[in-house]
Amino acid sequence: MKKFMCVLVALCLCGAAFAGEKTSPRPEEKQAPAAQEQKKADKKQNQTAKKATPAEQKKAFEARRKQIKKLVKKYRKASEEEKPAIKEQLSQIVSESVDAGLAYVKARIAAERANLDNWENKLQEDEKNLAQIKAKRVEDLLSGEAKRKHKAAQKAWKKQMKEAEKQLN
């Protein structure tokens, strides 16, 4: 997660740097066929990004990252005439990457808010039945039920972690 956030921040900063530079607008029919194909691919990725699973999002992120590196190398080696077209392609991919990163962060914030709401509701319910919860806890400790519940909770947590890891891969 840290790597993703670091790359996202770096891309945001790069996007801001590229956004400040002005490029000459080119009509679509004069653009290279590769640029037209890239626009079509971008549109497809934007449509699928809304419905993408975490694994698909990760693959798309890696593909954009590789494409950005490739275009940066190509830009540095290109002649002055080719640089504006490459720069426009790069700015489109960076823009898409930043948009996808921000959408991911917004989705995570929404998920965490929902999780926080669940915890607050549980807390309110527990506060209403505080005396019963305390008495049950004492009984569970004395009967050995607390130990069994703890082991079951650990097992369930490990299972959840394995499933989450599978979804990411």
Note the helical H segments in the chain.
Answer: 2-20, 33-49, 54-77, 83-128, 130-143, 145-168
Res 101 pLDDT > 70: yes
Is residue 76's pLDDT more than 50? yes
Instruction: Decide if 89 contacts 35 (C-beta within 8 A).
Output: yes
DSSP secondary structure letter of residue 1: -
Supply the angle between the helices 2-20 and 83-128 in degrees, to the nearest 10: 140
**Terminal-to-terminal C-alpha distance of the chain:** 13
Unique residue bearing structure tokens 């929404």: 110
What does pLDDT average to over the chain? 80
Residue 74 has pLDDT above 80, yes or no: yes
Between CA 49 and CA 3 the distance in angstroms is 20
